[in-house]
Amino acid sequence: MLPQLLLAQDLGSWPQHSLSRPQPRIVTLAPAGAPVPPPSDAIVLFDGTSLANWRTADSAMGPAKWKVESGYMEVVAGSGAIMTSRGFGDAQLHIEFASPSPPSTRTGQNRGNSGVFLMRTYEVQVLDSWQNPTYPDGQAGALYGQYPPLVNASRKPGEWQTFDIVFRAPRFRSDSSVASPARFTVFHNGVLVQDNVALVGPTSHTRRTPYIAHPDRLPIMLQDHGDPVRFRNIWIRELPEVSAAVTASAAGYAAISGTR
């Protein structure tokens, strides 16, 4: 029998964005601490002073237009998503965010919405999920449209929160077919919410789209969804590629056991 934790992270028969899907249980957290200093081998993407490492995510790729003050960057509604100037593949990403306070009078997906996109394609959802029900595969810490978080580990609006993300990029064969899918492990405020799950394709709204072969390294993108979400202390560690033997072994186990 598979562990309950693994069974909890299965697409199952639930329609995408189903409000009938069980809500992740809520866990109570200690107050937020000081920002986590980057390790010595990390690449600092935002140190609280400058958006020099970021660009607009549109075709112009001009300077990022979000606001920077008091050690954080803040989404400027309508200015568009921003992305890193350089691309990344397999990586450990640390990012801290805060939902607007006081919260909007709007609810669900219209409250504190943003997103962290690895390779501009695979989203970990940012949302104000404090006493704000929405479809489970769209709440904070979800792999958007696919996997709800194992638990709701959100803090109150205005309090700083963390995502620690371990990402394994998908691999494609020479014929553009998928050799291995994208995989995520995510800790939200130090609590495991995604446990080495494999995406079935790019994350998207109201549909599930298939993988399309893309380069091995692409920028990280932060979403402008119209809410003044704040971000700070963003750093990344590039990870060595998992050997072909390990990947093949994992694929073989998945085929035998029926797991991803």
pTM: 0.89
User: Sign (positive/negative) of CA torsion 57, 149, 89, 32?
Assistant: positive
CATH of domain 4-257: 2.60.120.560
Q: Does residue 9 have a pLDDT over 80?
A: no
Q: What is the pLDDT of residue 252?
A: 53
Average pLDDT over residues 115-120: 98
CA angle, corner 11, sides to 260 and 149, nearest 5? 95
CA–chain centroid gap for 154, Å, is 14
223's tokens: 């979403």
First to last CA, the chain: 15
Mean confidence (pLDDT) of the chain: 90
Contact 194, 149 (CB under 8 A): yes
Write out pLDDT tens, residues 163-187.
Answer: 999 999 999 999 999 999 999 999 9
Residue 243: pLDDT band with limits 50, 70, 90:
low
What are the residue ranges spanned by the domains of the chain? Answer: 4-257
3-class DSSP state of 257 = helix
